[in-house]
Amino acid sequence: MEALATTPTASSADQTVFETEPARYQHWKLSIDNERANLVMAVDDEHPHKPGYELKLNSYDLSVDIELADAILRLRFEHPEIKVLVITAELDRVFCSGANIYMLGLSTHSFKVNFCKFTNETRLYLEDASASSGLASLAACKGTTAGGGYELALACDDIMLVDDGNSAVSFPETPLLAVLPGTGGLTRLVDKRRIRRDRADVFCTTAEGIKGKRAKDWGLVDDVVSRSKWDETVATRAKALAAKQTVTRGPAVKLPALAPKITDQAFTYGHVTLSFDRAARTGELVVRGPDKAGVVDLTSPDTWSLQAFRELDDALLRLRFDLPDIGMVTVRTVGDRSAVITHDEQLASATTGFAREIRLLQRRVLKRFDNTARSFYAVADRADSCFAGSLLELALGADRFYMLIDKDEAIGVALSVANAGFMTMATGLSRLEARFYGDAPRIQALLARKDAVIPSEEAEQLGLATVAADDIDFEDELRIAIEERASLSPDALTGMEQSLRFVGPETLETKIFGRLSAWQNWIFTRANSTGAHGALTLYGQPERPQFQWKRT
């Protein structure tokens, strides 16, 4: 695959590249062996995401996790024969020492939080591969497994730890750095692995961790194995995991490069454009629908349903990491509503594993949209607006939806099979269920009208739109709303939006993105961790941290 094509600008060197492929990996080695894939962590300490630190002891930064996310994606689409992924390391006596502490110490608050969020999403993607795609995972930890390294292991179906009298699993963040395990570790301990909370308390405050028989007895790992029997046992456990998989994927499809055009005013893809005004702190996200209705080629990696959502995913990540000052984003769609609905229907009725993987990727990208700490206002103000089906999910997921009332009723929305429950949020609810929480009759009445166009004024009456206004008031009302939103505290807005977006039951995912993100966000600003005398700031230096002892 060719390298990404970009337009050189004064700022393009500062942009984060989220797309890669195995031939360009610097920190992982991916190999295929019949039904088994091996992903070997071999972090190159001289190639960090940004200069200023070395990735010693298989510690990781954003560049390491970008490659991990890519490997999972490619196994799901390009290697349908794989039924089990074995994640291991080649460094002697160290599996992974976790997120690089010096990287965290040098990073901005915004970067630290977004880094934790991205790694969270990657681990959830690994779990989804097991739950939805028949791709089980085994963490073969042949050495010390600490912090984020153990969190990666917790995201796998099975965890093996070498029994050599020295290797341990640990969460040293609280005792050593005055922060929390940042990628869902606390929640997975008690919710996923069902470890008693008193034992979890001991574990999370014991910097050196727990090893051997106690690690297995407490449920921290599934097995401890001697070095002499390691390879044989890994092979046996991997084969047993593969034998349990019943989901069929495929056919194999090679994913093409996205190759966005990058300038200092916009990121432009084939179907997606993210433009921004740095001075106004606002942006506009435009997603274009399929070129035309008709038979959809569900054998091609270029099919709109896959390519547009891959582009949207990349744009959202760039928004998070490269545009921290852009807090207010309008979301528009352009195209033929009927073409979107056709794609949705054919995708939902297709029986191939490839089609199912496209829908699963759409669901994952829409979750990324939900979790993005930006104010999103969906806007339908053109006759060719196409908030329909899978693209209507963007309007339902936005914080508000503004629609222009036109005399011809050309502007409208339409539901499709994509809105009927598959595109669930972190809560397990669809976005319709979250919008009309507890009102099942209303949801069913709306779904009964799928494929039909609902014009702006009626969409407001039915609760699909927040505001529908005529051309006399619309432009001013939208402009004022955007300006007001952009003037508010971004911290308060992030807390408010994340509280309001996740209506309904709490799940492992909502705990990770709600509780964890909120607490970690707060802790990263506290003097005990990141102050001049904080534990994270002074890590590796002879000076001991000085804590403020008041609890708040």
Same structural domain, 296 and 417: yes
Cβ-based neighbour number of residue 422 at 10 Å: 17
Q: How far apart, in Å, do the first and last CA atoms of the chain sit?
A: 52
Q: What is the pLDDT of residues 99-150, one digit of tens each?
A: 999 999 999 999 999 999 999 999 999 999 999 999 999 999 999 999 999 9
Same structural domain, 230 and 286: no
Same structural domain, 230 and 366: no
**Which of residues 243, 273, 307 is at a domain's end?**
243
In a domain, 108, yes or no: yes
Same structural domain, 431 and 342: yes
Closest C-alpha among 376, 398, 380, 377 to residue 388 = 380
Same structural domain, 269 and 239: no
CB 253 within 8 A of CB 299: yes
> How far is Cα 47 from Cα 63, in angstroms, rounded to an integer?
9
In a domain, 5, yes or no: no
Same structural domain, 275 and 156: no
DSSP for residue 284? E
State how far the alpha carbon of 188 is from the alpha carbons of 44, 103, 155, 200, 490, in Å: 29, 25, 8, 10, 29
CB 348 within 8 A of CB 393: no
**pLDDT for res 291:** 85
Same structural domain, 91 and 118: yes
DSSP string of 143-211, one letter each residue? EEEETHHHHHHHTSSEEEEE-SSS-EEE--IIIIISS--SSSHHHIIIIIS---HHHHHHHHT-TT-EE
**pLDDT for res 516:** 76
> How far is Cα 58 from Cα 81, in angstroms, rounded to an integer?
29
**Which of residues 196, 211, 243 is at a domain's end?**
243
Same structural domain, 231 and 343: no
CB 164 within 8 A of CB 142: no
Region of 409 (left: φ > 0; alpha: ψ -120 to 50; beta: rest) is left
**pLDDT for res 351:** 94
CB 193 within 8 A of CB 154: yes
Indicate the residue type of 98. Answer: G
Same structural domain, 138 and 74: yes
**pLDDT for res 12:** 47
HSE-up of residue 129 (Cα within 13 Å, Cβ side): 29
Only one residue has tokens 């807005």, namely 493
* pLDDT tens for each residue of the chain, 552 residues long: 333 333 333 344 568 999 999 999 999 999 999 999 999 999 999 899 999 999 999 999 999 999 999 999 999 999 999 999 999 998 889 999 999 999 999 999 999 999 999 999 999 999 999 999 999 999 999 999 999 999 999 999 999 999 999 999 999 999 999 998 888 899 999 999 999 999 999 999 999 999 999 999 999 999 999 999 999 999 999 999 999 999 999 999 999 999 999 999 999 999 999 999 999 999 999 999 998 766 788 899 999 999 999 999 999 999 999 999 999 999 999 999 999 999 999 999 999 999 999 999 999 999 999 999 999 999 999 999 999 999 999 999 999 999 999 999 999 999 999 999 999 999 999 999 999 999 999 999 999 999 899 999 999 999 999 999 999 999 999 999 999 999 999 989 988 998 899 999 999 999 888 777 778 888 888 999 999 999 999 898 899 999 999 887
Taken in order 368, 370, 375, 377, the sign of the CA dihedral is positive
**Which of residues 243, 276, 295 is at a domain's end?**
243
Q: In terms of pTM, does the model score above 0.85?
A: yes
Residues 6+ apart with CB under 8 A from 534: 178, 526, 527, 528, 545
CB 95 within 8 A of CB 142: yes
Same structural domain, 126 and 275: no
Q: Which two tokens stand for residue 26?
A: 């610097």
**pLDDT for res 431:** 97
Residues 6+ apart with CB under 8 A from 500: 399
**pLDDT for res 192:** 95
In a domain, 294, yes or no: yes
Same structural domain, 27 and 175: yes
Closest C-alpha among 381, 379, 255, 271 to residue 315 = 271
Q: Give me the domain span that covers residue 476.
A: 261-496
> How far is Cα 455 from Cα 412, in angstroms, rounded to an integer?
4
DSSP string of 111-122, one letter each residue? HHHHHHHHHHHH
- In the chain, the number of structural domains is 2
**pLDDT for res 240:** 97
Q: What is the pLDDT of residues 218-242, one digit of tens each?
A: 999 999 999 999 999 999 999 999 9
Which residue blocks in 252-397 are alpha helix, DSSP H? 304-322, 337-349, 353-371, 389-397
In a domain, 380, yes or no: yes
Q: Strand, coil or helix: what is 287?
A: strand
In a domain, 60, yes or no: yes
CATH of the domain at 343: 3.90.226.10
In a domain, 518, yes or no: no
Taken in order 310, 315, 316, 317, the sign of the CA dihedral is positive
Same structural domain, 312 and 407: yes
In a domain, 360, yes or no: yes
In a domain, 287, yes or no: yes
